[in-house]
Chains A and B, each alone.
Chain A
C-alpha cells in the first residue's frame, strides 16, 4: 500500500512531476501576464496543452507528496514481500485471487461486450436503450418522485428526531476526520463537473422552456422565477437526500452491527448481518459497480468533450476526438494517482484544492456580479422554493404519468442522482465513524445542499439577468453550439470584469471537480470488487481507475456517451426500489433498537433546563 508515499514508483513520480509542474507553470505565468508576447510564439493548442499539463501535474504532485515527515521511513513489509514474487503469472494470479468473482468479473466482461456491441451494431443498441430510458422515466416517474420525497422526509426526521443522536461506532468513538475535511471530501466526491457546467446553464434552459408546473411564458419575467426555483429544486435538498438514504443505512449497520463496508449492507435488516453473502446482496453490489462506473465514466467522457467544446467556442481552438481522448487520459492519470495515494493524501488534498478554488471563484464572482439583481432574484427564488418544494416534489404533470418535460428533466435528474448514490453514500458511510447520525445528515443533506444552491443562485441569476436584460445572448450561444450547456459560462464571464480570470478558474474547477469524484469512485469500486474479508490493494485501485478511464475513452471513440449515460440512469430504477426497502428496514431497526435517544428539541430543552439550574445555583 502506498499509504506513506515511500514507494519507489511514487518517488519516481515525484521526481518527474516536479520539474514538469515548474516548467509548464513558468509558461502559464508568462502567458497570463504577457498574452501578447506569448501569443505570438505559442499556438492556442500548445498553450492549452501546457496549461493542462501545469494544472494536472500540480494536482498529481500534490497527491503523491508523502504524508507527514516520515519520508524515507522503514520499508513496508508487504512491499518487500511483493518484490519477491516478481513473476507476471504469479502477480496476476495473486491479484485475481483477491477479487470477488461476481463483482469483479461481471462488470469487466459486460463492459467489454457493450463496446463490442457498440462497434458491431451501433444503431440497434441506441434505439433500444433510448426507448427503455423513455419508458422508465415516463412510466416509473412516480417511483422516482416518491423516493425523492420520502428521502427528504426521512432526512428531516433524522435531523430533528431522536435517532439523530445515535453515535456511529458507539458512544466512545471519536471521529477520525475533522469536520472541515469531512464536509469537503464528501461534497467534492458527491458532485462532479456538472455543478460547474450547469451552474450558469440550468436556469437558462428552464427560462427558455419553462417547467409546466409554473405555466409561465417562455423568456418572461415569470419564467425567471420559475427557472431559478426549478434549478434549486433539481440540485438542492431532494437531490442530496439520495446520498443520505444510501449512506446512513450503510453507516448504521457497519458501525453498530459490524456489517461489511458494502452497498448491499443496506439489506441487513432483512437478511441479517450474517446473511449478507446472499445472491441478492451480490446483485446489489454488482448494480452499484455498474452504476458507479457507468455514471463516472460517462461523466469523464462528457467532461472531456464539453471542456474542449467550451475552449473551441471561446477561443476557436479546435480539437478532434484525439484531443478529448488525450484529455481523458491525463485526467485518468490524475485521479488514479490520487485514488491510490489514499484518502488522507491525494483524495483529501485534491478535495481541499477543489473547495478553495470553488470558494475563490464564488468570492470573485460576487465581487464582479450585479449583486443587487442577484440578491433580489435569489431571495425571490428561495421564497418560491420554500413555498413550492412540496407540490413540485409531487408534481408529475399527467397524473401518475410523467409529462415529457418532467420526465426529461426532473425524473431523469432523480435517476441520475440515484445512480451516483451507491458510491457517494458508501463513501459518506466510510468517513462517518464517530459522528452522530444528525451530524451526518446535517453535512450530507443541509450543508452540501446550501453550498450547491448558493452556487446555482449566484451563477443562474447572473446569467438570467444578462440574458433577460439583453446584455448577452447566452441562449443564442448555446444554440449555436448545438444546445451544449458547456458553452453557457463563457459569454456570461466575458460580460463581467476580470472575465478572463474567471474563465481560467472555471476550467480549472471542471477538471478538479471531475478528479475529486473519480478518485473516490475508483476507491469505492475497488472496495466493492475485492473479496469481502480483504482490503483492496494498490494494484486493484489502479486497475479500476484505469478501467474507468478506458471506458471513458471507449465511450468517446464509439460516440456512445449518451447511451452509457442512459444505461447508468436506468440503474437508478432498481436503486429507487432498493432505497425504499432500505428506508423501511432502517426505520424498523431504529424503532426497535434505538428508543431512548433525545430528539433535537428535547436535547435543547434539557440543555436549557440544565443551564437554568446552573444559574439558580
Chain B
C-alpha cells in the first residue's frame, strides 16, 4: 500500500513539473550533470587521475567520493555506492549486463575487466543510475576504450610497474589504430602479486593473485553515419587468495563479447542510435585446497552466462534531449558445492547452491533532459521492467522445496524506477535536487541461495523466493560553489527503503557449515534508511599548488533503529598537490573516525580510527611525439597497521608500499 502511494505521489509530481515547465522560455544551455566520471584512459597520462597509471580498476574506483570498496583480500574488491553493495546497485560494462558467478561475492563485475579495457567509469547515484538496469543505490557503467573515426592515429604503448609490498609486478601493452574508416584497439595486461604485508611487517597469508586480461575492439564504418563495432574481452585470474574468507579461488574466467551497430549524426534529430547484442560467460572456481586447517575440504564452482541486447537512441529536440533504451537479457546462474568427507570411503556431499536460475529481463528506459531556461533544467527518467525467473534444475527445485514445500519453479516480477531531478545554476552557484523511486528484484542469492556461508557474521544463508521487491524512495540535494580560487560542494542523499532485504536468524534451522552459528533466511525488514553526505573543497593556494579535501559521513538504520552493516563512519581525505610543467607531486592523507555505528548482529565491531599518509610524484619526458611517463610514490608511509569498516572480518590493509610505474607511448 505504501509503495502504491509513493508511485502515485511521484507520477503526480512528474506531471506538475512537466506542465509548469512548458511555460518557461526557450533557451538551451547544457548544464553539467551531477554524475561522476572517473577517467581511466591512459591517453592523457597525467596526475589528474590521482592514481598511478597501472592501478587496478578497484584503486581507481576507490578514489571516487561516491564509492567505497569492500575488501576480502587484495583482489576483486566489491564496489558500494551510497553504502549499498552488489545486489542493490547496477554494474554494467558499456551497457551490457553481466553477473558474477560466485555465491560469496568474490567476483564483482569490476574484477573481470582491467584498466587496459576502459576509458571511463560513469558513477551515478541512486535512481540516476537506472539507465541500464533496475537499481536502488546507483549505477556504475564501465566504458570500454574504443577509437573513433575522427582522427588518424597509430600508437603503441607499454607500461610496466613494480610495487614493493607483495612484490607486485604489472606489465601491459596496447596498440591503437584508427583512420576515417576503421579503428582497432588491442591490449593485454598482466598482474601478479605475492602475499602483501600489513603495517608492522605482518604477512597476510592467502592474499596473492595472478591475472591477465586481453581485449580487442574494432570498428568499421559502413556508411556515412553508421559503423559496426565488435569487442572481445578475455579475463583470466588464477590462484587468488581471499585472506578474509575460508576459501580461495583457483580460477576466475570471463569471456565478454559484443557486436553493435552505431549510428551518429549530430545534424539529425536522432543524434545517436546504438543497437548492441552481447554475450558473456563466467566460470568461477572456489576451493580451499591450499588451506591446511579446514574442518572439511570443499569445491564451490559457479557459472553465470548472460545473453542480451539493448537499443539506445538519443534524440535532440529544441530544449529536450531525450534518451530511450530498450534492453533485454537472459541470465543463467548455477553454482554447486561438493564436500569431501575425511573418510575416503564415504560418498561426496553435493548440493546446488544456486539452482540454475534463468532470469529473463526486458525493460525500457526513457530520459528527458529538459532545459527550462538558461539557468535551470529538469531531468526525468523512468524505467519499467518485467522479470521472469525459472528454476531450471529439478535437483535445485527439490532442494529449495525442503524449505518451501509449495515452491513453484517460475515467478514473475514488475519493476519500476522513476526519478526527477532539478538543476539550477547561477553565477558561481549550482544547485541540484532530485527525488526518485526505485524497485529491484531479489538477487539469485537472496531468492534462491542454498546454505551459503557468510564468514562476515558466521551464518549460513538460505534464500527466500517469496520476497517482495525492494523499494526505495530517495531524496538528493547538492550545492556547489566555484570561483577562481575555491571550489566547494556539499551533497546529501537519503534513502527510505521499504521491504529492505536482509538475513534474519531462524533458530529452527540447523547450520550446514561446520563452525557456523546458525542459519539466517533472507527476509524483508519493514524499512531501512540510509543517509550519506559528503563535503568537498578545493583551494588553489597558487597556480602550482592546490589543496583538496573531502569529508564524508553516512548513517544506516533499520526499522528498530539498529545499525545496518557496512556503513561508513566519518571519513576524510586531504591532499596537497603541486604541478609545474611536466612535474606533478602530491602529498595525501586519508582516514576515518572510529566506527561508532556498527552492527554487531551482522558481525561488525567498532573499527578503530586511523589516518594514513601517502606521497607520489610523476614526470613526463617527451622525445618528439613519443612520451615516457614515470610515476613513483609511497602509500601508507608510516606503515600503519589498520583496517576500515569495509574490510571483511577486519582484514588489515596494506602496510608501507613503494611503487614505480613507467609508461612508454610511441606514436
The answer to whether A and B come from one shared complex is no
